Amino acid sequence: MTKKFIADWTVREIIRKNDAFLLRLVLEDENQAFPETLPGQFVQVLVKNSASTYLRRPISIHFVEPEKREIHLLIQITGEGTRQIAKTATGDKLNLICPLGNSFSLPERNDKSPKFFLLIGGGVGAAPLLYLGHRLRKIGYVPDFLLGAYSKENFFDNRPFETVGNLFLTTEDGSAGSKGYVTNHPVLETKTYDFIYTCGPRPMMQAVAQYARKKNIPCEISLENTMACGIGACLCCVEKTVYKGNVCVCTEGPVFNINELLWLI
């Protein structure tokens, strides 16, 4: 496993849209080897200048460009901590601990038997799915993304997803893609998938898991339990599992097979 490390990253670019923003961070310190990162892993961001934000904030790795020594984060402003992070400007430093957590499971390199992967994201839950899709593409599979949002404006930027795979959208108000929730999208009935990955609000993941269970499709989900340390030291982030009792989402997750979790059964 790659060594976890703590380092300052420099903001190369910050792109804002509504209450979300994308950070392109570069690891400038040449003495620090660029980490090997797996899809589904996350970083712990140190928040400065906020009395009410004491702990780091866990954020998924949205995309990685090792040649440029860049990690990208896609963040939704939900409170004081993320609001402070959103204030960073190009050239500022952000202190990260990374890479943390396990990974979505990647299949073996494409052995010519076609396989279909569906990556379902709700809101900013789409964040880790871009890098996952990219890694699937690299081993020879073209993934399908199914992204849901309340309205058209709530999608951050769909172009990167379109570059990596096929993109399907749903919106609750019908302003883009098909109207309704992700689990109402027609592609779920017209296409047969071999594997589903999902990340987003719990009710959405629960609905996706039910669909996967009904269709007998293996399914992995990524949880967002609140965390203190992010490295398995405090036991604050636990989730109940079927065989192992309480486990830490930060080390044994954030990605779980739906069959491992008690809440889906």
Partner 1 sequence: MADLAVNIGTLNFKNPVLTASGTFGYGVEYSDFIDLSRLGGIFVKGTTLNAREGNDYPRMAETSSGMLNAVGLQNKGVQYFISNIYPEIKNIDTNIMVNVSGSTIEDYCVCAEQINELEKIPAIELNISCPNVKQGGMAFGTSAKAAAEVVAAVRRTYNKTLIVKLSPNVTDITEIARAVEAEGADAVSLINTLMGMAIDIERRRPVLSTVTGGLSGACIKPVALRMVWQTARAVKIPVIGMGGISSWQDAVEFILAGATAIEIGTANFIDPTVSMKVIDGIDEYLDRKNIDSVRKLIGSID
The nearer residue to ligand FES, 169 or 249, going by C-beta atoms, is 249
CB 22 within 8 A of CB 73: yes
CA distance 265 to 245: 14
CB 129 within 8 A of CB 150: no
What Rg value do the Cα atoms of the chain yield, rounded?
18
CB of 115 to ligand FAD, least distance (A): 26
Please, which of residues 25-64 interact with ligand FAD by CB under 6 A?
A: 42, 53, 57-60
CA distance 164 to 121: 15
Binding site for ligand FES (CB under 6 A): 227-230, 232-237, 248, 250
CA distance 135 to 151: 28
- Pick the piece of the chain touching ligand FAD (CB under 6 A) from 6-14, 21-29, 107-115, 225-233: 225-233
Q: What angle do CA 15, 88, 162 make, to 5 degrees?
A: 20
CA distance 193 to 163: 20
Please, which of residues 217-236 interact with ligand FMN by CB under 6 A?
A: 234, 236
CA 36 to chain centre: 16
CB of 103 to partner 1, least distance (A): 17
CA distance 118 to 125: 14
Please, which of residues 124-183 interact with ligand FAD by CB under 6 A?
A: 124, 127
The nearer residue to partner 1, 42 or 155, going by C-beta atoms, is 42
CB of 154 to partner 1, least distance (A): 21
CB of 229 to ligand FMN, least distance (A): 8
The nearer residue to partner 1, 100 or 130, going by C-beta atoms, is 100
Site residues, ligand FAD (CB under 6 A): 42, 53, 57-60, 74-76, 78-82, 124, 127, 224-227, 254
